[in-house]
C-alpha cells in the first residue's frame, strides 16, 4: 500500500479521537498532539454503519484500545525527533496501528466505518466506551 493510500485510510482511524477521548482523561490531549500527520485530500467517505453487531463493537473496542496504546507509545518519540526521523516514526506507528486493527480481525475500512458511526451516534459511542473500559 502506498503512503498516500495508507494516510487516507488512517485519517478516519485517527478520528477515533471522540471515542478514545471519552475512554480516558489523557487520551484527548494525546490524540490532539498525534494529529500532526498531514491529511490526504478530502474523499467521499462511505456512509457510517447503521447496524453494528455486539461482536463488531467488541472487536472495534479491542482494536481501538490497541491503536490508543500504540499511539501513546509513539507520540512522545515523534514529538522529540528531528523532522526527518519523525516522518519515519509516523510511518512505523501507522503500520503498527494498521497491524493492530487487522490482528483483531477487522479491516481498516470497517474500523473507520464504525468510528464514523460512533462519532455520529452518541448511544453507539457510549457502548464502545463501556466496552473499552472493561
Residue with cell 490524540: 31
pLDDT at 79 over 60: yes
- Domain holding 70, by residue range, is 3-22+54-133
Q: What is the DSSP letter of 50?
A: S
Residue with more model confidence, 8 or 102? 102
The verdict on residue 117 lying in a domain is yes
- Considering its fold, how many domains does the chain have in total? 1
pLDDT at 31 over 90: no
The verdict on residue 127 lying in a domain is yes
**Cell reading at 130:** 463501556
Burial class (CB in 10 A: 0-12, 13-18, 19+), 93: buried
Q: What percent of the chain has pLDDT over 70?
A: 63
pTM exceeding 0.85: no
The three-state secondary structure class of 110 is: helix
The verdict on residue 81 lying in a domain is yes
The verdict on residue 108 lying in a domain is yes
Amino acid at each position: 500500500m502506498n503512503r498516500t493510500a495508507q494516510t487516507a485510510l488512517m485519517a478516519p482511524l485517527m478520528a477515533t479521537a471522540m471515542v478514545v477521548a471519552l475512554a480516558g482523561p489523557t487520551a484527548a490531549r494525546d490524540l490532539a498532539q498525534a494529529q500532526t500527520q498531514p491529511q490526504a485530500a478530502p474523499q467521499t467517505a462511505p456512509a457510517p454503519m447503521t447496524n453494528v453487531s455486539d461482536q463488531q463493537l467488541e472487536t472495534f473496542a479491542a482494536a481501538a484500545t490497541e491503536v490508543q496504546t500504540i499511539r501513546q507509545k509513539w507520540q512522545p518519540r515523534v514529538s522529540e525527533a528531528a523532522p526527518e526521523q519523525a516522518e519515519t516514526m509516523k510511518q512505523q506507528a501507522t503500520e503498527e496501528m494498521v497491524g493492530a486493527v487487522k490482528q483483531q480481525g477487522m479491516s481498516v475500512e470497517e474500523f473507520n466505518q464504525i468510528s464514523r458511526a460512533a462519532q455520529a451516534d452518541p448511544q453507539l459511542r457510549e457502548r464502545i466506551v463501556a466496552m473499552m473500559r472493561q
